[in-house]
Amino acid sequence: MSPPAAPRQIGTIEAVQGPVVDIVCDHPPPLHRALFAQPNGERCVLEVFRELGERHVRAIALHRTAGLARGLAVMDGGGPLEIPVGPQCLGRLLDVFGAPLDGEAPFESTGRRPLVAPPGPLAEARAAESVLETGIKVIDLLCPFVRGGKTGLFGGAGVGKTVLITEFMNAVIQLHAGVSVFAGIGERIREGHELWHDMREAGVMPRTVMVFGQMDESPGVRFRVGLTGLAYAEYLRDTVGKDVLLLIDNVFRFVQAGSEISGLLGRMPATVGYQPTLLSEVAELEERISSSTAGNITSVQAVYVPADDMTDPAVSAIFSHLDTMVVLSRNQAAKGIYPAVDPLRSSSKMMDRHFLGERHYRVAEAVREHLARYHELEDIIAMLGIESLSESDRRVVARARRLQRYLTQPFHVVAQHTGIPGASVPLAQTLDDCEAFLRGDYDDVAEADCYMRGSMQDPKT
């Protein structure tokens, strides 16, 4: 076997401004080409993002730029950014380049995959097939996740997005024996460290790949780490053939990294200061998340909502690609309703009687009607008291309050913090319980006895 060719010099550094590196070269490389420089023997990877002229390109550094200087040689990486792949990637904690972050030796790779790639052929794409049960009552009932679909968890800071996404990861591995890929975009080191240890203690790490681009790293790393997670998900889909769960926390930080890069490249900002390429950058990530004849990729994405404004351009751009939208409400959290899902603002494109079945659709609509009527009457109750309502409205309010508390649930991943054992409820049992609430079977049960439990048949802890 012939030895690999020595890297070829493609140009020299002309200017360095933060993570932005301007390169002068006789033959400019194409966009998204991987280049590298080696100041003091340390490899600094660059990605070409913009052509400045016939002999100049502008690249973003994916490592720290300490040591880079004018005149330093820039070498050709030979192609786009690539990561190593192989069956042994399962159970590992990796960075944007596929290098280990868990202190262990690099895994044995069987090939490489590019980060930037087109979506799969349309002829091989597969439509959503069925509901993916999570064991989380409020989600399975009112905004069901779709096997092979994309789900967004929308919410401001501190309303439980990461807890919910972690519980869903645990549920899919335990209930469906699939594999998971977690992409942490701009994660705090504390959050990543806690999540890694939680996954190991829960025993699900052997079937999980975790990829992190931390908050203190270059915007180029935070912009590309989502594609690293997606590349591993595509590899597992195409080789393992099982359901692959792709979890991204947080897509908004992907947009923020793109905005930083756009400003560094000298582009004029667009709506509300976002980059003019916002829609195409979000589409570049989202359109590759698809199912094929080889297997399913089901994606759950946490989306930070700035100032709880659902009309924010970044939120709107992400929402247009999703099948299910789960909105986490600060008002629900303030009432102690966890998970803090707003049942009236959350929705799914699959809320259809032909997809869900007649019974599920009918029960979900009836529960939503009760909760909506209670929401309408809350101001009247606060001002005049519940005695001012008609007998039928009082009955609806009482049942809606019990349903609201029934749709809370203790989670496995926070059981050590809350002291309440986690509960997982099959969808069929959730439908049975909700039908009983709607019939009035539990009208004599205290509201507190409906709160933070699994099924109504389970003993209250």
- The 10 Å CB-count burial string (b at 16+, else e) for 177-188 is ebbbbbbbbbbe
> Which residue is catalytic, options 82, 133, 187, 260?
187
Q: Which of 43, 64, 188, 335 is catalytic?
A: 188
Q: Which tokens hold the place of 408?
A: 């809370």
Q: What angle do CA 340, 341, 346 make, to 5 degrees?
A: 160
The backbone torsions φ and ψ at residue 22, rounded to the nearest 5 degrees and listed phi first, read -95, 135
Q: Give the whole-angstrom CA distance, residue 384 versus residue 247.
A: 46
Q: Respond yes or no: is residue 288 known to be catalytic.
A: no
Look up 187 and say whether it is catalytic. Answer: yes
Strand partners, 304: 155
b/e per residue 235-260 (b: at least 16 CB within 10 A): bbbeebeebbbbbbbbbbbbbbbbbb
Q: Where are the alpha helices (DSSP H) in 177-303?
A: 189-202, 219-239, 251-264, 278-286
Dist CA 61 CA 82 (whole Å): 15
The SS3 call for residue 69 is coil
d(C-alpha 21, C-alpha 62), whole Å = 11
Q: Phi and psi for 419 in degrees, rounded to 5?
A: 80, 5
With vertex at residue 123, the alpha carbon angle to CA 150 and CA 133, rounded to the nearest 5 degrees, is: 30
Per-residue burial over 312-322, b if 16 or more Cβ lie within 10 Å, else e, is bbbbebbeebb
Nearest to 234 by CA among 31, 83, 79, 46: 83
Q: Decide if 161 is catalytic.
A: yes
Contact 218, 61 (CB under 8 A): yes
Catalytic residue from among 92, 161, 253, 402: 161
Residues labelled catalytic: 161, 187-188
